[in-house]
Structure 1
Amino acid sequence: MSDDIGHQKRALRAELRERRQLLSETARDAAAAGIRVQLDALLEHTGARAVSCYLSATTEPGTREFVEHAVGRGIRVLLPVTRSDGLLDWTVASADGDIAEGLFGLPEPVGELLGPIAVNDVDLLIIPAAAVDTHGMRLGWGRGYFDKTIGSMEGCPPVYAVIYDSELIDEVPREIHDQPVSGVVTPTRTVPLAPRRR
């Protein structure tokens, strides 16, 4: 990573993290309700029967309502579990699944681990992001788990990043290993994006 790009990424992440922390509980609840509506509509549009998602942390746009609702509708939802080697294991979400603190203090499911290749069986990936630009480039939180996952998949299905409305921006700093997404889901809209070719 060039020092300049690394600095740009750290500065942008810090700004976005601070903005998220300033949101009121009411705003977060409204965002979670909007995310559920948008993700439900995305499932209908894509016809996905198996998806990967994640358990949102307090300051992230809420995905938990969506996960619970999808499981209740018979959708197979895989949730990530971080590993120290930089890869993700996966477990199947259940209606009464337990949650524990993961490797980085974030909420993760407790359940039978399926290994990194389990995600190859999903029809749609729903992933976290700090921001996404209008070319489909995603800025993550700096650990590279989802970039590695997407980059390793053959025939990768559509990938949608969940962000707040203000986090779809003109451009994010990018490096060669950064993976684009197919679109974004915000509390008010779902935006398909045309990723910039490398």
Structure 2
Amino acid sequence: MSDTTEDAKRALRAELRERRQLLSAHAAESAGEQLHARLDELVGRGDIAAISCFLSTPFEPATRAFVEGAVARGIRVLLPVTRADGLLDWAVATEDGDIAEGLFGLPEPVGELLGPIAVNDVDLMIVPAAAVDRTGMRLGWGRGYFDKTIGSMEGCPPVYAVVYDTEVLDEVPSELHDQPVTGAVTPTRILEFAPPAA
């Protein structure tokens, strides 16, 4: 990684993290309700039997109500569990599933772990992001878990990043290992990005 790109990523992440922390509780709650509706709309667009999603932290666009609703409707939801080797295990979300603090203090499910390849069976991936740009490039939070996962999948399903509306940018700094996403879901819209030219 070039020092210039690394510095640009670090600075942008810090700015985005600070913006999220300044969001009022009312604004965050309202955005979470809107996001829930957009995610339901996304899942309703196709024949979706299984998805992967993540459990949001207090400073991320809220996904927990969506996950609970999807499970209640009979959709199989895989939730990520971080591993020390940089890969993700997966656990099936349940209506009364326990949540604990994971490797980096993130909320993660407690229960039987499925290996990294379990995600190959989902019809749709919903991933966290700090920002996305209008070409579909995703800026993550710097640990590379989702870039590794997406980059290693042979038949990768559609991947949508969850961000606030102000986090859809003209451009984000990126490198070769960074993986683009199919689209983004914000509280007010679902965006589709054109696939990169071959």
TM-score by length of 2: 0.98
Instruction: Flag as ranges the 4+ runs of structure 1 deviating above 2 A.
Output: 195-198
Give, in angstroms, the shift of residue 196 of structure 1.
3.0
- The residue aligned with 1:104 is 104
Matches within 5 A, 1:4-19: 4-19=4-19
Give, in angstroms, the shift of residue 111 of structure 1.
1.1
1:129 touches 1:162 (CA, 8 Å); kept in 2?
A: yes
Task: Note if 1:127 corresponds to 2:127.
Answer: yes
Deviations 1:116-149 (A, max 9, x none): 0000000000000000000000000000000000
Alpha-carbon distance in 1 for matches of 2:18, 2:178: 23
1:130 touches 1:167 (CA, 8 Å); kept in 2?
A: yes
Q: Which runs of 5+ in 1 are unaligned?
A: none
Alpha-carbon distance in 2 for matches of 1:88, 1:63: 19
Report the 3-state secondary structure (helix = DSSP H, G, I; strand = E; otherwise coil) of the residue aligned with 1:66: helix
Matches within 5 A, 1:1-198: 1-197=1-197
Report the 3-state secondary structure (helix = DSSP H, G, I; strand = E; otherwise coil) of the residue aligned with 2:45: helix
The one-letter amino acid of 2:179's match is: Q
Alpha-carbon distance in 1 for matches of 2:134, 2:145: 22
Deviations 1:151-194 (A, max 9, x none): 00011000000000000000000000000000000001101111
The one-letter amino acid of 2:87's match is: L
The one-letter amino acid of 2:110's match is: V
Deviations 1:77-112 (A, max 9, x none): 000000000000000000001000010011111110
1:71 touches 1:94 (CA, 8 Å); kept in 2?
A: yes
Give, in angstroms, the shift of residue 195 of structure 1.
3.6
Alpha-carbon distance in 1 for matches of 2:197, 2:125: 20
Alpha-carbon distance in 2 for matches of 1:142, 1:64: 23
Alpha-carbon distance in 2 for matches of 1:64, 1:35: 11
The one-letter amino acid of 2:141's match is: W
Give, in angstroms, the shift of residue 31 of structure 1.
1.1
TM-score by length of 1: 0.98
1:185 touches 1:191 (CA, 8 Å); kept in 2?
A: yes
1:55 touches 1:64 (CA, 8 Å); kept in 2?
A: yes
Alpha-carbon distance in 2 for matches of 1:30, 1:109: 25
Residues 16 and 88 from structure 1, CA distance in 2 versus in 1: closer, same or farther, beyond 3 angstroms? same
Alpha-carbon distance in 2 for matches of 1:82, 1:173: 24
Give, in angstroms, the shift of residue 46 of structure 1.
2.3
The one-letter amino acid of 1:66's match is: F
Over aligned residues, Cα RMSD in angstroms?
Answer: 0.8
Report the 3-state secondary structure (helix = DSSP H, G, I; strand = E; otherwise coil) of the residue aligned with 1:46: coil
Give, in angstroms, the shift of residue 47 of structure 1.
2.1
